[in-house]
Amino acid sequence: MLVNLKNSCISFCLIALISVGKLNALEDDSLPKYKMCVPHSVFNACQHLVTTQPSEHALIECVPARDRMECLEKVNRREADFLAVDPEDMYVAFRMKNEDFSVFSEIRTVEEPDAEFRYEGIILVHKGSNINSLAALKGKKSCHTGYGRNVGYKIPITKLRKVGVLQTSNDPSLSPVEKELKGLSELFEKSCLVGNYSPNQEVNQVLKKRYSNLCALCEDPVKCNYPDKFSGYQGAIRCLVENGGDVAFTKVIYVRRFFGLAINGQIPITEAAADPNNYEYLCEDGSRRPVTGPPCSWAQRPWQGYMGNADLNSRLVRLQHRIEEFYEKAKLLDEKTKKEEATKLWISDKNLVVSKKDHALPGEHLIKAQYKDVIEREGTTEQKIRICVKTDIEMRKCETLKNAAYSRDIRPEFTCVVSSDCAHNIASQESDVAVLSTIDPAIKENNLQPVVFENYHDSHVIVAKKGLKDELLRKITLQYDDADEKSYNAALLFNYKRDSRLCSSLSNENSQLRVVRASQLALKTTDEHDELICLNLVRKSVTTTDLSDCKFDATPAKGVFARDAVRGHEFDNIVHAFTALSSKFGATGSVSDVFELFGEFEAGQRNVIFSDDALELVSDVNTISSVDENLYNRIRCQK
């Protein structure tokens, strides 16, 4: 699954050039061999694409992993040699063992092949304005690319806070996110800062109402979201030029585009939208520079790149050549399927691979770009959300979750606590939250409240061979996935509905009666001679689109639970953090290839902390399973 390619580095496979054993012609022991780790979600695309690109430079084997977090572990353990990463992944590597990783190649744009960093954040002001220092920004009107974005939000927040211009509250009830928004609201008279301040819409609306001046300069201040004329790289400049802004935070290349200036020495390809002589860059020291000359950037974001372990450092040259060769050849693919796979792997005509002459340690690389400060900008004293887990494998997943979330700007930060009784642990204030079944009696016993719930993207239904007699329908055993709790519970619910008084079930692989996922009906993987058996035992065609009375869901949902005393800002902080976690790492998350929140965490280990088949975390109780404790017990004959 590939989502939000614009924000996610799905380039990890683009250099997975040759899968050893796939091409007999390339089985040459004289060629150096490399193992590249790739998330399993793009492994097949990687395998298909590499076979079209024979080379004399190197043999590379694609090594599948759960996600990029596991790839970092595999590279560190020498189960793979390298992987492709975002700067945020470089930060995780730095926190793991900085001396053992190095960045050796980068994916840059054709437009800026010699730029050392991907983003150069700048401050743009009117020429002749009275803004001659960062302190002079107080009370001015600001224009931003959007909430949570690098040059328009993260970098300004980091730098202005570091020099003392942006003041953030010490109120412990405020989340790091709200502290930043409150600080910006107090620093600037008006702003245009569009976007979702929280993935949870209730929290988002509360924050926008509370800090409404941050939306006052937008095209639509009420919506304060994309699309907006005054958002994005050029929109922030337009806000300064056309809508009364005093200062714009944006990116150098878009300044040059907006004002019709040459880029990388090339003749301008756009007409000037305004006179460049009327605008200047504001530097950190308060000096000014004309936009027609070299800029003064105050922080950068590194390019996406390729990072390997220390064992790779002495044999990089042929690998670097092969990476560059493969990328350029992949751009020329004509076959539709291969072209689509190349696109999935972030191979674009707009990009190219540049080998670094001197490989860089990830920590040093981030510090040089001043991007480590951006990731860590809220400091280490902020409130943390303590997640309680019970087992060693849950602790391993929690630690991975914590590292991935922190690097991807999810705040408050998570930390992990182990206990054999998480509900009591929360009640005694030794931890803050735990993931529990909604029918767990410990919830009531310890006076806990739900924060968010798992939402599932599929249901189970019962199909039978057409012509199966009613008498037999009420007696025969079922075929189901006995390793899937939801499938087993669906079988128990069917037994209950047909009054078979069976409080347990054994799967019969030869049965004419099967428990299947509803998605199998949509995919038409069921036999055309099958029919659907609904809750009232009425039969329907397997092609029906109305499954409202045919779903055999008998597994209570899981939820994140906290102390009942948690209220107000503190409660909103937890909701925000978990919905942000789901928004980024859930089944359809923007960077689910970085860390899989749901799904098998380690081989053979299912439903670790969260359910494998969960789709997202939601705060709306109306979206979760309606299975209650009484039904759950009845199908087991416990009541």
Q: Exposure pattern of 271-281 as b/e (b: 16+ CB <10 Å)?
A: eeeeebeebbb
Residue 392 binned pLDDT confidence (cut-offs 50, 70, 90): very high
| pLDDT at 639 (0 to 100) | 62
Average pLDDT over residues 612-621: 89
Evaluated on CA atoms 630, 635, 636, 639, the torsion sign reads positive
Q: Is there a shared CATH topology between the 119-300 domain and the 384-457+556-633 domain? A: yes
- Position 12 scores a pLDDT of 40
41 neighbors 1 (Cβ within 8 angstroms): yes
Strand ranges of the sheet holding 530-533, from the earlier edge strand across to the other edge:
513-517, 460-465, 530-533, 539-541
* pLDDT at residue 343, rounded to an integer: 76
Cβ partners under 8 Å of residue 607, min gap 6: 485
Q: What is the DSSP string of 343-366?
A: HHTT--TTEEEEEEEEEE-HHHHH
Nearest to 94 by CA among 371, 320, 355: 371
Alpha carbon 486 to chain centroid distance?
26
pLDDT tens string 119-174: 888 999 999 999 999 999 999 999 999 999 999 999 999 999 999 999 999 888 88
CB contact at 8 A, 330 and 342: yes
pLDDT greater than 80 at residue 626 = no
Asked whether the predicted pLDDT for residue 379 surpasses 60, the reply is no
pLDDT of residue 623: 59
Q: Summarize the confidence of residues 61-90 as an average pLDDT.
A: 96
380 or 141, which is more confident: 141
Q: Tell me which DSSP letter residue 268 carries.
A: P
Inter-CA distances, 620 with 438, 451, 455, 548, Å: 14, 10, 10, 19
- What's the predicted TM-score (pTM) here? 0.89
Residues 393-415 have a mean pLDDT of 97
Cα(398)–Cα(43) distance, rounded to whole angstroms? 25
* pLDDT of 24 strictly over 70: no
Average pLDDT over the chain reads 89
* Per-residue confidence (pLDDT) for residue 591, from 0 to 100: 96
Give the pLDDT of residue 381: 52
> End-to-end alpha-carbon separation of the chain, Å?
43
Reply yes or no on whether the pLDDT at 5 is more than 70: no
CA distances from 602 to 62, 181, 374, 420 (A): 19, 39, 32, 21
Is the pLDDT confidence value at 27 over 70? no
pLDDT at 22 over 70: no
- Cα–Cα distance for residue pair 139/130, rounded to 1 Å: 12
Domain positions in the chain are: 11-115+303-371, 119-300, 384-457+556-633, 460-541
pLDDT at 624: 62
> Does the pLDDT value for residue 489 go beyond 70?
yes
pLDDT of 628 reads 80
Segment 319-364, tens digit of pLDDT: 999 889 888 888 888 777 777 888 777 788 999 999 999 999 999 9
CA distances, 276 to each of 127, 142, 286, 593 (Å)? 10, 19, 20, 42
Contact 149, 235 (CB under 8 A): no
Which of 248, 239, 205, 234 shows the shortest CA–CA distance to 219? 239
CATH number of the domain located at residue range(s) 384-457+556-633 in this protein = 3.40.190.10
CATH of domain 11-115+303-371: 3.40.190.10
CATH placement of domain 119-300:
3.40.190.10
Residue 8 pLDDT exceeds 50 = no
pLDDT band at residue 401, thresholds of 50, 70 and 90? very high
Check: CB of residue 486 under 8 Å from CB of residue 508: no
Q: What is the pLDDT of residue 341?
A: 80
Is the pLDDT reported for residue 514 higher than 80? yes
Q: What pLDDT does residue 11 have?
A: 41
Q: What is the pLDDT of residue 441?
A: 94
